[in-house]
Amino acid sequence: MDVPASVRDALGDDKAAMRLRMVRWLCAQGVRDERVLRALAAVPRHRFVNSALWDQAYEDTSLPIGYGQTISKPSVVARMLEWLLLGRNAQTLGHLGRVLEIGSGCGYQTRVLSLLAPMVVSAERLQPLHHLAVEHLRRWRVPGAGDCVLVFQDGSAGVAPHAPFDSIVAAASAECIPPAWLEQLRIGGRLVAPVQAPNGAGQVLLIVDRTPQGWQTLQGEGVQFVPLKSGTA
């Protein structure tokens, strides 16, 4: 399956053939939003993992980034972004607006988000990963990217000084959505996060919309993420 011309135009020279193969595969799996495909095509995923893993960087697999954490599968990143872009504020704005990311990790998803939003605030509880994400985002800039603010703190508390947010996305699974995330979501905003499945078997994506009348929730597909932990280390 071929990809839209605008997505091809986003490919850089750095591992371009591998990136194109990944995007073609995502298209074949049903990812349709060209904005998401362009962002994934534009960001050199291999630069955010250890060089020993470069040959696997564009496969649809999670990869270790150290400290018991992983970089998410491209297909999972794509689906979460598509869910976010269907939020009311995102549809009105034409982009994700002000974004809160829980779990900076190596900074890969942060960089992808920055191509879909003018401002991304990202919280990381592990100091070595926080420093790694800061360095990666400094080194691997992409034309057209929005601003990124990386914060070293417990992500379960959100980042109140930068709230409210139009979009919130979590890269770790909680038993239930922390109240702080809901409080920091703007009316019209959307939150996408992995949570424990209602039957206790595995994890699912939970999509939460904040409306003037309250909250609306939708259950998405099954996923597998590292658990959300509190505190810093």
Question: What is the maximum span of the chain, computed from C-alpha positions, in angstroms?
Answer: 50
Beta bridge partners of 169: 101, 192
DSSP string, the chain: ----HHHHHH--STTHHHHHHHHHHHHHTT---HHHHHHHHHS-GGGGS-GGGGGGTTSSS-EEEETTEEEPPHHHHHHHHHHHHTSHHHHHHTS--EEEEE--TTSHHHHHHHTT-SEEEEEESSHHHHHHHHHHHHHS--TT--EEEEEES-GGG--GGG--EEEEEESSBBSS--HHHHHTEEEEEEEEEEEE-TTSSSEEEEEEEEETTEEEEEEEEEE--PBP--S--
Which residue numbers are catalytic? Answer: 72
Beta bridge partners of 149: 121
What span, in angstroms and rounded, lies between the C-alpha atoms of 41 and 16? 8
